Structure 1
Amino acid sequence: MAISVLYSPARYVQGKGAMADLGSYLKGLGSNPLIVSDEVVWNIVKETVTTGFTKEGLEVTRVPFGTYATPKAVDDLVETIASGKHDVIVAIGGGSAIDAVKAAGHLAGIRWASVPTAASSDAPTSALSVIYTEEGEFIEYRFFPHNPDLVLIDTQLVANAPVKFLVAGVGDALATYLEARATMRGQGLTMAGGRPTRSAMALAELSWDLLWEYALPAIDAVASKTVTPALEAVVEANTLLSGLGFESGGLAAAHAIHNGLTAAPQTHGLTHGQKVNIGSLTQLILEGAPTHEIEDFIEFTTKVGLPNTLTEIGLSNEHTAELRAVAEAATVEGETIHAMPFPVTADLVFDALLAVES
């Protein structure tokens, strides 16, 4: 019988104004932190972070971040860690910055922390990074022996961020239950290296339920830049519950198809969650899910603001070369699509993608 495994971060902190306490939480992890964030994010959080660090006697050292977690971006951070003798590295910003910091922290042998400024993906809690080319094409997953030492998310920053980021997070998180369910039905392993645990399945399903209940009012809250109970629920669903659910519950077709979509240049301007939503719908078609389930999913995610047709992501059924490339990339050896409870080929994915448009 296969072993079941559950991964989780050492500490998860969420709430309005949580950024002010970042220094106090980091002080328990190290004395010389390195902050990684892009210019836009840093301008937003600099004053709050600096005040908190000063209070805790920590020096503020920050380096900028580009667009993607590339091999070079990771290696450059490792060099910066060594030259500055840093003992903890902190990503403040989006999923790519967080992925680069996790990979660099692991290689450098120091602790690392995820501080997302939007609830746009479930990357912050996981013990893996997604590595891309400079152009944004998927290269590989990198796996680490432990999860972040700290995940901290300030829900007021989430409320202040553009609505599209929360919408993207909903698209990413909705896939969690669909993929964990498929993995449980089959014999595949999860990102944690074992079979899905019942606790991970329960967390994945809770994420799904919270999103169906609260996603629309949470989007309204972000549109008005206010923190409400609905927004708190969706931030937890997008970040913590989805993160634990995907990592220890399993990824399947939806994220493999997302990775495949990065091979189509037309999709490079899309958010992670937008591409994942196309992957989720394609997975439902591949599974032969009941018509009402597919229709309900399309109706709900359309209301949320997620794409459900190829046209919405810059493709069409006439882009056969691109769709073939997507299908081939989604089904390479080792991809998560092979955790589905039946064999999946590139031809099956290609046909399912064509069906999405109709």
Structure 2
Amino acid sequence: MSTTASTTPPIRTVMSPGRYVQGKGALARLGEFVAQIGTAPLIIADDFVWGIAEDQVSASFTAADLRIERVGFGRFATATAVDALVEKIKETGTDVVVAVGGGSAIDAAKSAGHLAGIRWVSVPTVASTDAPTSALAVIYTEEGEFVEYRFFPRNPDLVLIDTQFVANAPVAFLVAGIGDALATWLEARATAASNSTTMAGGQPTQTGTALAKLSWEIIHENAFSALDAVRDGVVTPALENLVEANTLLSGLGFESGGLAAAHAIHNGLTAAPQTHGLSHGQKVNIGSLTQLVLEGAPRAEIEDFIEFTTRVGLPTTLTEIGLTVEDETELRAIAELATVPTETIHNMPFAVTVDDVVSALKSIERLSRSVRADRGLAEPVKHVAKH
């Protein structure tokens, strides 16, 4: 997504969802907001999520005189899953698709809604990614390997997140969201430095860059208190702040501020089967640390990043994602996928090669272990891939 020569003057642009709703008990008002968008909704939710959300969603839809039509969903947003949803939309005469659940279900709904020519709504039940607000979807293979980004001309008409659901979910989801959102500022500042094209289709705006930085600041101020709130299953101001940072601010910041090396390296990591059991945010955190190494960030900044993310519970070594510095074949495959011509790593303000990425990935093992030892942090525990 780097800038290319053009005969027309460059533009700067910001994209955002039509409406963002967040708060404890917000799900009870879903029908009220969906009824302003369409009259024949189709709900996309896997069986587990539907078991938790069905009563509240159904009650809100009934109160708004909306039909209750639900279709299940698998693990990944694959091209096949999207095409199946398009057929279901056509069969049921749907005019708005409502995704309830995680990032993959939401991405599939956005992609299917776009192909079917209808409107779409994101209802994340966890704050594990910043995908819900964006006008793009990530498509994977059945095994979880990155395939492509799909871009849409508009964002969701509605993003609604009930913070009590976030508080009730395992804390690992919120940790993953922190990993995803922390990359937003690191990538936005790199994109601003290179004046590259953002996911919104223009050069970065001051607004997008500022929102990315605000997300970073709110996360650092609220993360630990918010994680404790989730461990206790309660909604607190710190949790509300963190959910907004993870979801809205990071979503706006990455889309209109720009992606760079961190997410490209995440996509590259999907080439290694060892990483398939990891969350999006865990892999992104490795990408963020690798980006800091690539850009020669100040040692103090890197050390602080390692300490903060280790204390949050995110991986900062190859060991923790099932790799080693000796895995030359896997590391090169990761680097090659991360540096394909269409990848966002080329938004960095300097050229990045396959060899650069391999070297940076190898370097984080010793670097992180050293910082963790100096600061009294836990030793890395090897991630064992589940097949």
Q: Same fold (TM over 0.5)?
A: yes
In the TM superposition, 1:78-93 aligns within 5 A as 78-93=86-101
1:3 Cα deviation (Å)?
1.1
Counterpart secondary structure, 2:147 = strand
| Structure-2 residue corresponding to 1:215 | 223
Matches of residues 1-358 of structure 1 in structure 2 within 5 Å?
2-358=10-366
Distance (Å, rounded) in 2 between the aligned partners of 1:142 and 1:236: 24
Task: Name the CA distance, whole Å, in 2 between partners of 1:239 and 1:329.
Answer: 27
Q: How far apart, in 2, do the equivalents of 1:40 and 1:272 lie? A: 20
Structure 2 residue runs without a partner (length 5+)? 1-8, 367-387
CA distance, structure 2, for counterparts of residue 216 and residue 39 of structure 1? 31
TM-score, length of structure 2 as denominator length? 0.92
Distance across 2 between alignment mates of 1:53 and 1:293: 48
Q: Is the 8 A contact 2:144 2:276 kept in 1?
A: yes
- The runs of 5 or more residues in structure 1 that have no matched partner are none
The alpha-carbon deviation at position 187 of structure 1 amounts to: 3.1
CA contact (8 A) 2:40 2:95 kept: yes
TM-score, normalised to structure 1, is 1.00
Encode CA deviations 1:71-91: one digit per residue, 9 max, x unaligned: 010000000000100000000
Runs of 4+ in structure 1 displaced over 6 angstroms?
A: none
Amino acid at match of 2:125: T
Amino acid corresponding to residue 310 of structure 1 in structure 2: L
In 2, the alpha carbon distance for the partners of 1:252 and 1:145 equals 21
Q: Kindly provide the amino acid, as one letter, of the partner of residue 26 in structure 1.
A: V
CA distance in 1, matches of 2:314, 2:42: 35
Distance 1:153 1:343 in 2: 39
Q: Distance in 2 between matches of 1:188 and 1:344?
A: 15
CA drift of 1:133 comes to 0.3
Quote how far apart the aligned CAs of 1:2 are.
2.2
Once superposed, what is the RMSD of the aligned Cα atoms? Answer: 0.5
SS at match of 2:52: helix
Contact 2:195 2:204 in 1 (8 A): no
- Equivalent residue pairs, number: 358
CA displacement at 1:226 relative to structure 2: 0.3
Amino acid at match of 1:15: G
Percent of aligned pairs with the same residue? 69
Q: State the 1:188 CA deviation.
A: 1.5
Q: Which residue number corresponds to residue 378 of structure 2? A: none
Equivalent-residue separation in structure 2 for 1:163 and 1:248 (angstroms): 28
Q: CA deviation at 1:59?
A: 1.0
Distance 1:41 1:127 in 2: 23
Render the CA deviation track for 1:84-110: whole Å, top value 9, x for unaligned.
000000000000000000000000000
